[in-house]
Amino acid sequence: MNLKLRLGILGGGGNSLIGVLHRIAANMHDKYTITGGVFGTDWQKNIDFANKIGVHNNRVYKDFDAFIERELKLPTTERIQVVAILTPNFLHFPMAKKLIENGFHVICEKPMTTTFSEAKILHKLVKDVKTIFAVTYTYTGYPMVRQMREMILNGTIGKVQKVDAQYYQGWINPIIHDKSKRSTTWRLNPDKSGISCCIGDIGTHAFDMLEYVSGLKIEAILADLNYLYKDNKMDIDGTVLLRCTNNVKGVICASQIATGEENSFVVKVYGDKAGLKWEQENPNYLYLMKEGEPLQVLKPGHNYNTELSLNGTKLPPGHPEGIFDAMGNIYNGVAKAINKEPYNKGEFPTIIDGIRGMNFIEKTVSSHEKGNVWVPIETQE
């Protein structure tokens, strides 16, 4: 019974979608027991929800401080080992900071913090304390994204010469054109969401994904953001020109006013030998375009898949897995890291992904405000 990691959860109670995603992911590989947490601010709802998901009353806490205080008093053989932070964004930083300082491993939802300076503090702390710290850029958990990464790193497409990510959603459209809605939505309130809406929410996914699959670093950006209305304080659309290592150029197009789009995230990387393309809404297909050869469509679970990709597939070819499985793969990787088992560097996004994402968000807004000029992204290590 000791093989499973004791997982604490902060937030994610009630009808929280992100809560469902993390719970299913945590259970998927039989490596975590959801042991305790704070699932909401209302005590009775907190307890009821905990019971519903099978958490004992004595490990339900009224707030984060109580969580820390009481768990630290438990013997290490019983104490929660890793904590998933699913709260509103502005709480990520103080919670993560205190958890790391007290030796907990952390699985943190993105964006990791609300500012780059907070991210830098966490980064330093993790380097010092050496806990495991994962940031859930969920899409990197898909088997065919992992396949794409490893094929590029293995040279299948040759030297990368162009990167392109397009992340189009339409959900803000019915909000943005209604003055009362746009002034009251928390996603468009800088106090609650940080300085960017579209880039902060989905542009960062594109940024992280391009670096993840290409192995390149994005070194400078020029951004053009779109607010649609003067009284709207947050970007809801933007295009970002990219300069990467090796002088590779690229582009990120992101929008939340691409009316009618659901969650259309498309990633393309072209090398001097071939190109690769992946689409989030059909995540089990990876398109390999080799010059003068038939288009190849790679799918999960085959002998031709890379090891990292195969690790993320549980059923035989033709049995489509989905986004829960992508998050499950990330949880699986984090478990390996905590258990000091061997694991592949690509199994979960780390504090580096988190801090680079925050840097990207701030620089994007800065580039736009300065009149669409080039600004550098800092190196992290």
Q: Which of residues 342-381 bind a copy of itself (CB under 8 A)?
A: 372, 374
d(CA 373, CA 357): 19
- Spatial neighbors of 190 by CB under 8 A, at least 6 apart, are 233, 234
| Residue whose entry in the numeric block shows the structure tokens 């500012």 | 115
User: Could you tell me the smallest distance in angstroms from the CB atom of residue 351 to a copy of itself?
Assistant: 25
User: Could you tell me the smallest distance in angstroms from the CB atom of residue 100 to a copy of itself?
Assistant: 28
Residue 316 vs 342, nearer CB to a copy of itself: 316
- Spatial neighbors of 33 by CB under 8 A, at least 6 apart, are 4, 5, 6, 7
d(CA 202, CA 182): 18
Residue 82 vs 351, nearer CB to a copy of itself: 82
Q: Cα angle vertex 200, ends 196, 201, to 5°?
A: 125
Residue 103 vs 322, nearer CB to a copy of itself: 322
In the list 74, 115, 299, 380, the residue contacting a copy of itself (rule: CB under 8 A) is 299
Q: If you ran DSSP here, which 8-state letter would residue 114 be given?
A: S
Residue 68 vs 377, nearer CB to a copy of itself: 377
Residue 87 vs 255, nearer CB to a copy of itself: 255
| Residue whose entry in the numeric block shows the structure tokens 């995540």 | 283
User: Could you tell me the smallest distance in angstroms from the CB atom of residue 52 to a copy of itself?
Assistant: 6
Burial class for 217, CB neighbours closer than 10 Å (0-12, 13-18, 19+): middle
d(CA 346, CA 330): 9
* Total of residues contacting a copy of itself (CB under 8 A): 89
Q: What would the x/- binding string for a copy of itself be over residues 211 to 230, using CB under 8 A?
A: -----------x-x-x-x--
List binders of a copy of itself among 232-251 (CB under 8 A).
Answer: 237, 239, 241, 249, 251
Residue 72 vs 315, nearer CB to a copy of itself: 315
User: Could you tell me the smallest distance in angstroms from the CB atom of residue 70 to a copy of itself?
Assistant: 19
φ, ψ dihedrals at 14, nearest 5°: 60, -135
What amino acid occupies position 96? A
Residue 17 vs 77, nearer CB to a copy of itself: 17
Provide the CB-side half-sphere exposure for 36 (13 A, CA). 22
In the list 98, 120, 162, 217, the residue contacting a copy of itself (rule: CB under 8 A) is 162
Q: Are 310 and 7 in contact (CB under 8 A)?
A: no
- Note whether 23 binds a copy of itself by CB under 8 A: yes
List binders of a copy of itself among 82-101 (CB under 8 A).
Answer: none
Closest C-alpha to 284, from 261, 301, 308: 301
User: Could you tell me the smallest distance in angstroms from the CB atom of residue 279 to a copy of itself?
Assistant: 10
List binders of a copy of itself among 307-346 (CB under 8 A).
Answer: 314-325
- Note whether 184 binds a copy of itself by CB under 8 A: no
